Amino acid sequence: MFGIFDGHGGHACAQAVSERLFYYVAVSLMSHQTLEHMEGAMESMKPLLPILHWLKHPGDSIYKDVTSVHLDHLRVYWQELLDLHMEMGLSIEEALMYSFQRLDSDISLEIQAPLEDEVTRNLSLQVAFSGATACMAHVDGIHLHVANAGDCRAILGVQEDNGMWSCLPLTRDHNAWNQAELSRLKREHPESEDRTIIMEDRLLGVLIPCRAFGDVQLKWSKELQRSVLERGFNTEALNIYQFTPPHYYTPPYLTAEPEVTYHRLRPQDKFLVLASDGLWDMLSNEDVVRLVVGHLTEADQHKTDLAQRPANLGLMQSLLLQRKASGLHEADQNAATRLIRHAIGNNEYGEMEAERLAAMLTLPEDLARMYRDDITVTVVYFNSESIGAYYKGG
Amino acid sequence: MFYRLLSIVGRQRASPGWQNWSSARNSASAAEAHSMALPTQAQVVICGGGIMGTSVAYHLSKMGWKDIVLLEQGRLAAGSTRFCAGILSTARHLTIEQKMADYSNKLYHQLEQETGIQTGYTRTGSIFLAQTQDRLISLKRINARLNVIGIPSEIISPKKVAELHHLLNVHDLVGAMHVPEDAVVSSADVALALASAASQNGVQIYDRTSVLHVMVKKGQVTGVETDKGQIECQYFVNCAGQWAYELGLSNEEPVSIPLHACEHFYLLTRPLETPLQSSTPTIVDADGRIYIRNWQGGILSGGFEKNPKPIFTEGKNQLEIQNLQEDWDHFEPLLSSLLRRMPELETLEIMKLVNCPETFTPDMRCIMGESPAVQGYFVLAGMNSAGLSFGGGAGKYLAEWMVHGYPSENVWELDLKRFGALQSSRTFLRHRVMEVMPLMYDLKVPRWDFQTGRQLRTSPLYDRLDAQGARWMEKHGFERPKYFVPPDKDLLALEQSKTFYKPDWFDIVESEVKCCKEAVCVIDMSSFTKFEITSTGDQALEVLQYLFSNDLDVPVGHIVHTGMLNEGGGYENDCSIARLNKRSFFMISPTDQQVHCWAWLKKHMPEDSNLLLEDVTWKYTALNLIGPRAVDVLSELSYAPMTPDHFPSLFCKEMSVGYANGIRVMSMTHTGEPGFMLYIPIEYALHVYNEVMSVGQKYGIRNAGYYALRSLRIEKFFAFWGQDINNLTTPLECGRESRVKLEKICSSSLWWDHANHGRATEHRGKVLPSCYAACLEADLIRAGLESAKDITCSGPRLP
């Protein structure tokens, strides 16, 4: 499973979702038997086998203090799943669907329920009042599911048999430029609100994505918001923007329900790019594919060049000089870095400009947001041979 | 990768040695690494079975110490010693380094005969190429120093170079230096031979044994904890190479050994068509950043690139060891440089690019000596990739140090105590070694300041002075102004300012000196080391009377120039002491003595809870008001008469300056010029400075820097400790008889006996020229030359 989580109104929600969502999906996909084992272990206070095997970046942070509360909620979820008495667990599509919505409702409920510990309570509040869009991919053999809520995007890099590259979008951005989303919103709310529901290309004039986790100020009724916040939270200290947008008549306006797409991987599907809207604002799908392909070929070249090492010093020198001239050895460590470098370093003609890149990266924190969005990118490479083997093997 | 490399290179290079080694072992039951249990106690435990550890063991056992255990975590002579390029070069920048290398050369030369182990020692000579005139000057300086200590070398023409080495392209050379007695040798075999000889002398050697940490009780080594058990010992020697820093920190009382490793690459080739003779000289092309030696008919060539790759910043890291790979892209500039120097090599077949990390230190000098914090903890490490050249000599000096209490030469420049805990930050070391490694082959001009790891310790006036055009140097982590660039003057960029001739700042310093002589200048001297010694009774006076050569039982308020002498009568320290009151003294020493002086005092002071020694360096900002008008400035600021009648020379008084009270005013300037030192509690520093500057305006006050101070001192023959005098210089030898209270120490101290028995007279002949030289220096600076020392060495050879 891979995921991209793009927060807004603070990082709390994105952080929480990034840590919790995979557990919900994993639990949804577990068989009845496994769930029973887990429940048994919990009941007898035995240690639980880890549900997930994380592949984290060393820099990734985690909320350590609150995991026990989160585990309790996860347990409630699997208890409910147990009650459903489904032998095989949910289908992947269902699992993704439920997990997104379940986690969002847990986030929303956690803050409504009384919490003793002040740290946990403040954190839950921050999570609920900030928001996050999410896009996650689930790969099982040749079965690729992508669930998306918000304006992150996933695309496939496809190499046709004739060697040409193309891109295959797997998600639709949930924002005001998406006609389907517009009609969904209009359908869900009374006709009187048709004009006010999207203003200045934003949901209620506030939010760009039309689906997201958290953001309870766009989900709860005004009364609920007031009653929760009046329970003595110091909202200012917590840096929460407590404000009900105008024309707030028929909540909820926002949902975390994902759009799930399925794709059967073919040998020509070479890689998957998941990225937050910051990247897509700057680069088109085609640009992204082109850049990743460029990186792939260079990395290949890099390897092959020196693997068959020239035998004598003269040849070695000329090879090294060639590589230096083509700037090869300065290649980015990975394709994701390269994408980000180009997203913020490209000038209006689509060329990399080192000065521009440096300027963009050294902007003071408070100014940076006016010139660039935060960008998160994950590039997943598929092994075409094993995909091919799948097809041959039946 | 690392290990594969080890086996390949090891087999190729060291196999003859290994075969012989086993025969030697059979015949003489030599340094067979023990596999039995460790002994429970020993006098000395040496950690590290590389060239340093074995050399220390060899020399200690030669000097009669027998109860020695040497521990090696892997195999003997693995590590950097195994991968070292095997070049022994005596052409070093410091005289002490040249002496060490010279001794190593002689030692390795006869080692085969002594031990029966082949070391591959071949006297090839080496040639240092100069592509520029500046480089040639630098070589001439080294050449002159070599000749002074009796190492043959000469400056030769490009034509002669071509005769000595037929593969070289000499068209772009302006000259070269030839050192005919330099050699190549297999460093691993040298280490094994040293180990073998040590083992025959009773040293017990255990491999595959790691030292976990050193046990310390009451500031004294008591034993070593290893992965195979404990050993009680009195002395511990840290020769752990690039791991020495980690090992030092692993103690409960950490020992700071500032060093850091960088990746280092060299190339091995197959033999030439007509294999290169084993006597082919080694080439050092510093302008091309490379060295080239013959290696099994082919060549071995490496270098010190401009963009080094530091490694092991976070300590020993398995991942990084595995990732030690050949990096051809990184090596390209060096390869191009090699082919430019030897174009015929183009068709030569590549065998391997070796990546062997080397250790570097913050000032490019190796680290030896005893830890200031833990007695009995000795260190020998940080060789800046000259481990083979220094191995023999450094081992000898350290052994002498341990056995006799001091080495036979002055090694202050290499002493561990020149560093303190402040140089032990990993970040600092990582940044600094990235500057140090390229410097190996950069042009070394006088007065070069490191650019990394700066602005660590600063005076509260730093920003203020910086805004007024101060240019800074660093001493012991402390920023000191060199001189002040007037607003209307531009200096050259750093790179262009490198010169052996008259520097562009010369006129600036000249005018600062003039101002000191004619009006008044203020120099921020906060970096000086300041100690306070106080006691409840007379203990402070007693201990100081014992430790210092001059009489300190002076009236309160008097300042005494004195120093601490060692058993040989040499200056361990040079300082001024002010008697603040009956029972407390204020001691001012040079900046870089902070650690050394503290350690010396601590070592020789009795354990007495009523006697308090405190380092107050950080508590005071020191302003030096130099010049005939300093009196006027100060009396105007304090409404107190400051004339010599009221405030005689070498006098100290607490008084108020401006609004600030409790300023220690001393009537001395460290230059022999009239004026005052103000020791200001730091919170008043800015206030006092501002007052001094504004009042001083009408007297023509200006800022001055250390270069001006230095010039003033030289004019008055004031010696610099560590440069002009050291722990082998007695007061008599440097004309400081007046600073010794003879009655006080005549009976007890050795040096006076020496003096009476002619040692002083014998030395006088030697030293006087150098005093003479000191006075010359003022003139020399004007001529743009570095230091009188060079001149006495090189005499008329220099341009």
CA-based nearest residue to B368, from B52, B49, B43: B52
Best of B272, B350, B352 to substitute, by most chain A Cβ atoms within 10 angstroms, is B350
Query: Cα(B786)–Cα(B763) distance, rounded to whole angstroms?
Result: 25
- State the helix-helix crossing angle for B328-341 and A313-325, rounded to 10 degrees: 120
Whether B505 and B704 have beta carbons less than 8 Å apart is answered as no
CB pairs under 8 A between A and B: 47
CA-based nearest residue to B413, from B671, B239, B596: B596
In A, minimum Cα distance to B336 occurs at A317
Question: Which is it for strands B175-179 and A131-140: parallel, antiparallel or unpaired?
Answer: unpaired
* φ and ψ at residue B360, rounded to 5 degrees: -125, 155
Please name the residues in contact with B328: beta carbons below 8 A apart, sequence gap of 6 or more: A306, A309, A316, A320, B335, B353
Of B267, B269, B329, the CB nearest to A320: B329
In B, minimum Cα distance to A312 occurs at B349
Q: What residues of A are in contact with residue B348 (Cβ under 8 Å)?
A: 312-313
Ramachandran region, residue A141 (left: φ > 0; alpha: ψ -120 to 50; beta: rest): left
Query: Cα(B323)–Cα(B314) distance, rounded to whole angstroms?
Result: 15
In B, minimum Cα distance to A313 occurs at B346
* φ and ψ at residue B425, rounded to 5 degrees: -70, 135
Question: pLDDT tens digits for chain A (394 residues)?
Answer: 899 999 888 888 888 888 888 888 888 888 888 888 888 888 887 777 777 777 766 556 666 555 677 788 888 888 888 888 776 667 888 889 989 999 998 888 888 877 667 777 777 888 888 889 999 999 988 899 999 999 899 999 998 888 888 889 999 888 888 888 888 888 888 888 888 888 888 888 888 888 999 888 888 888 888 777 777 666 665 555 556 777 888 888 888 899 999 999 888 888 999 999 888 888 888 888 888 888 887 766 666 566 667 778 888 888 888 877 766 545 566 788 888 888 887 777 767 777 777 777 777 777 777 777 888 888 888 888 888 888 887 5
CA distance B490 to chain A (A): 28
Poorest-pLDDT segment among A131-140, B385-394, B410-419, B753-762: B753-762
Interval B629-645 mean pLDDT: 92
Burial of A59 (0-12, 13-18, 19+ CB in 10 A): exposed
Neighbours of B52 (CB within 10 A): 33
Q: What residues of A are in contact with residue B341 (Cβ under 8 Å)?
A: none
Interval B138-144 mean pLDDT: 95
pLDDT at residue B790 in the model: 40
Whether A267 and A388 have beta carbons less than 8 Å apart is answered as yes
Is there a contact between A313 and B269 if contact means CB atoms under 8 Å apart? yes
Cis peptide, bond prior to residue B446, ω within 30 of zero: no
Please name the residues in contact with A251: beta carbons below 8 A apart, sequence gap of 6 or more: A218, A219, A220, A221, A222
Please name the residues in contact with B735: beta carbons below 8 A apart, sequence gap of 6 or more: B717, B771
* Cα B148 to the center of its chain, rounded Å: 21
- State the helix-helix crossing angle for B133-148 and B95-115, rounded to 10 degrees: 60
Give the ipTM of the model, two decimals please: 0.73
Interval B641-655 mean pLDDT: 92
> What is residue B455's three-state secondary structure?
coil
Rounded-to-5 percentages of helix, strand, coil across chain B: 40, 25, 35
B686-742: per-residue pLDDT in tens? 999 999 999 999 999 999 999 999 999 999 888 888 888 888 888 888 888 888 887
E strand or H helix at B332: helix B328-341
- State the helix-helix crossing angle for A32-43 and A67-83, rounded to 10 degrees: 130
Question: Which is it for strands B260-262 and B358-360: parallel, antiparallel or unpaired?
Answer: antiparallel
Is there a contact between B347 and A317 if contact means CB atoms under 8 Å apart? no
pLDDT at residue B799 in the model: 29
pLDDT at residue A335 in the model: 81
Whether A32 and A86 have beta carbons less than 8 Å apart is answered as yes
pLDDT at residue B782 in the model: 41
Q: What residues of B are in contact with residue A317 (Cβ under 8 Å)?
A: 332, 335-336, 339, 346
E strand or H helix at B340: helix B328-341
Here the tokens at position B266 are 């060299």
Could you tell me the strand order of the sheet in which A153-159 lies? A165-169, A153-159, A269-275, A377-381
Q: What residues of A are in contact with residue B305 (Cβ under 8 Å)?
A: none
- One-letter amino acid at B377 equals Y
From residue B276, how far is each of B281, B344, B751, B797 by CA, in Å? 10, 13, 55, 35
Query: Cα(B194)–Cα(B200) distance, rounded to whole angstroms?
Result: 10
C-alpha torsion sign, points B217, B219, B223, B225? positive
- State the helix-helix crossing angle for A335-345 and A354-361, rounded to 10 degrees: 90
Is there a contact between A312 and B349 if contact means CB atoms under 8 Å apart? yes
The 3 state secondary structure assigned to chain A is: CEEEEEEECCCHHHHHHHHHHHHHHHHHHCCHHHHHHHHHHHHCCCCCCCCCCCCCCCCCCCCCCCHHHHHHHHHHHHHHHHHCCCCCCCCHHHHHHHHHHHHHHHHHHHHHCCCCCHHHHHHHHHHHHCEEEEEEEEEECCEEEEEEECCCEEEEEEECCCCCEEEEECCCCCCCCCHHHHHHHHHHCCHHHCCCCEECCEECCCECCCECEECHHHCCCHHHHHHHHCCCCCCCCCCCCCCCCCCCCCCCCCECCCEEEEEECCCCEEEEEEECHHHHHHCCHHHHHHHHHHHHHHHHHHHHHHHCCCCEHHHHHHHHHHHHHCCHHHCCCCHHHHHHHHHHHECCCCCECHHHHHHHHCCCHHHHHHHCCCCCEEEEECCHHHHHHHHHHC
B494-548: per-residue pLDDT in tens? 778 888 989 999 999 999 999 999 999 999 999 999 999 999 999 999 999 989 9
